[in-house]
Amino acid sequence: MKIMTKNTLIGISVLTLVACKKDHPTPEVDTLQKDVIVSLASNVNTYAYNQLASSSNDLYSAIVSFCATPTSEGLTNCQDLWKTTRSIWEQTEGFLYGPVSSDNIDPRIDTWPVDYNALENVLSSSMAFGETEINALDDALKGFHPIEYLLFGQDGAKTFDQFTVREKEYLVALSLNIKTLTAELASKWDVNTNEDYYTYFTAPSTSNPYYQTEKAVYLEIANAMVGICDEVGNGKMSEPFVAQDPSLEESPFSKNSITDFMNNMRSVQNVYLGKFSTDNKGLDDLVKKYNLSLDQTINTKINAAISSLNNISGTFSTAIIDEPVQVQNAIDAIISLQECLETELLPFIQTYVK
C-alpha cells in the first residue's frame, strides 16, 4: 500500500484504521470466514455428493434393467446415465478431502487406465460377482472405467446384442459397487448421521480431530483446488500427450475425456465461487474483501482454463495427435491456474485467515 504523508489528525486516523483492518480481520470478516466454510460444506460438498449418490442409483437401476432385457434404447440410456454420473463425480474432484480420500473411495471409483487383459481374465474366470469379490478386485478393475469399457466397447461402438452373460453380471456388480460407495460418501457428509464429517469441517476447534482452526479448513480447500489442477495439467493431459499414447487417456471409450477435464476445472470454479446448483458464498467473497486484483486474476485464469479446453475440437485421443497447439495451450492454462493458486491464494489464506 502506498501511503501519502498527512499532517492532520483525521488523515492519520484513517490510515491507522486501514492498516488495522488489513492486518486484523474485523468481526464482520470473522463471520464471513465461517459463512464461506458452511456455504461450501452445504451448497457444494454435501449437495454434490447427494446428487452423485442419486445419479449412481439411477445408473445401477438402468443397468439392471438393460441386462435383464437388452435393447438399443436401454444401452443408450445406460451410456447417457454413465456420462451424467461421471459429470457430477468430476465436479467433486476439486474437493478430494474427507471420506473420499481417507476411506479410499476415490481410487476405488476412478482408477485408470483399464487393464484390458486383467479385465478379460476376470470375465473368463469362474469367480462370483458378489460384494466381497468386487471389493477384493484391483482398483483398475472396478469403478467408472471398467463400466465405461463394458458399456461403450473398446472402439466406442458396442451394440446391445454384443453383451455376454458374464459381461452383464459384471456390469450389474460394478454399478452396485459405485452405488454403495457413493451412498456411503453422501452419508458421511450428512449432518444427521453418526459419521458426520460436515460438523468436523464446519466447526474447527482444538478438540476437532481434523481441523483445529478455520485456517486449516481453508488450506485444505485451496490445496485440493491446486491438486486437481496438477492432476489434470500434469497427469491426465500431459502424460498421454507427451507419450502420444491414447491408451493412457482417462475416458477413451466414451470419448468423454475433454468433458472430464472441463468438469474438473468447473469443480475449481464451483469451490471458488461457492456454487453447484445455486450461487452462494465462496472463497471469492473473502478474497474480494482484501484483494480485488487477486480475485480478478483467479477468475480470469479459471475461465481461461475452461475456454482453452473448449477450443479443442476433436476427441482427446485425436487431439493429442492432430491438435497439439490447442492441447498444449490448455495444459499451459491449467498449470498457470495451479501456479496462481499455489503462489497467490495459499499465501493469501496464510495472511488473512485465522
Residues whose CB is less than 8 angstroms from the CB of residue 164 and which lie 6 or more positions away in sequence, other chains included = 123
Task: Phi first, then psi: give them for residue 299, nearest 5 degrees.
Answer: -60, -40
Residue 322 falls inside a structural domain:
yes
**C-alpha dist (Å) from residue 38 to 204, 216, 327:** 11, 14, 37
Task: Categorize the per-residue pLDDT at 249 as very low, low, confident or very high, splitting at 50, 70 and 90.
Answer: very high
Q: Assess whether pLDDT exceeds 80 at residue 29.
A: no
Task: Tell me how crowded residue 10 is: count the other CB atoms within 10 A of its CB.
Answer: 8
Q: Under a CB-based contact definition with an 8 Å cutoff, are residues 351 and 308 in contact?
A: no
Q: How many CA atoms lie within 13 A of 123 on its CB side?
A: 22
Q: Is the preceding peptide bond at 113 cis, omega within 30 degrees of 0?
A: yes
For residues 46-67, give the mean pLDDT: 98
Instruction: Work out the pLDDT band at 28, boundaries 50, 70, 90.
Output: low
Confidence of residue 49 (pLDDT cuts 50, 70, 90): very high
pLDDT score at 116? 85
pLDDT of residue 26: 56
What predicted TM-score, i.e. pTM, was given to this entire model? 0.90
Is residue 337 included in any domain, yes or no?
Answer: yes
Of the candidate ranges 81-90, 106-115, 159-168, 274-283, the one whose mean pLDDT is the lowest: 274-283
Q: Which CATH number covers residue 316?
A: 1.20.1420.20
Those residues with Cβ within 8 angstroms of residue 317's Cβ, 6 or more apart along the chain or in another chain? 246, 249, 252, 255, 257
Q: Does residue 8 have a pLDDT over 60?
A: no
Residue 265 has pLDDT above 90, yes or no: yes
Provide mean pLDDT across the span 83-110.
97
Q: Coil, helix or strand for 192?
A: coil
In a domain, 13, yes or no: no
Please give the DSSP secondary-structure letter assigned to residue 203.
Answer: -
Residue 71: predicted pLDDT: 98
Round the average pLDDT of the chain to a whole number and report it.
92
Number of domains in the chain: 1
User: Is 18 a domain residue?
Assistant: no
Task: Decide: 250 and 260 in contact? Cβ < 8 Å.
Answer: yes
Cα–Cα nearest to 268, from 289, 241, 298: 298
Indicate whether 12 belongs to any domain.
Answer: no
pLDDT tens profile 173-219: 999 999 999 999 999 999 988 778 999 999 999 999 999 999 999 99
pLDDT above 60 for 13:
no
Please, which residues have CB within 8 angstroms of residue 266's CB and are 6 or more apart in sequence?
A: 91, 306
- How high is the pLDDT of residue 25? 54
Q: Is residue 226 part of a domain?
A: yes
Contact 287, 115 (CB under 8 A): no
Pairwise pLDDT comparison (110 vs 14), residue with the higher score:
110
Is residue 196 a part of any domain in this protein? yes
Question: What pLDDT shows up at residue 102?
Answer: 95
Mean predicted confidence (pLDDT) in 99-123: 95
Mean pLDDT of 109-123: 93
Q: Which domain holds residue 126?
A: 28-352
For residue 9, name the pLDDT band (cuts at 50, 70, 90): very low
Where does the pLDDT of residue 5 fall: very low under 50, low under 70, confident under 90, or very high at 90 and above?
A: very low
pLDDT-wise least confident of 84-88, 274-278, 322-326:
274-278
Cβ–Cβ under 8 Å, residues 244 and 321: yes
Mean pLDDT on 159-177: 98
Output the nine-digit C-alpha cell for 160. 446391445
Question: Which whole number is the average pLDDT over 110-136?
Answer: 95
pLDDT digits (tens, 9 = 90+) for 309-324: 999 999 999 999 999 9
Instruction: Examine residue 19 and state whether it is found in any structural domain, yes or no.
Output: no
Least confident of 5-9, 90-94, 271-275: 5-9
Strand locations in the chain (E): none
The confidence score (pLDDT) of residue 277 equals 74
Q: How far apart are CA 27 and CA 325, in angstroms?
A: 49
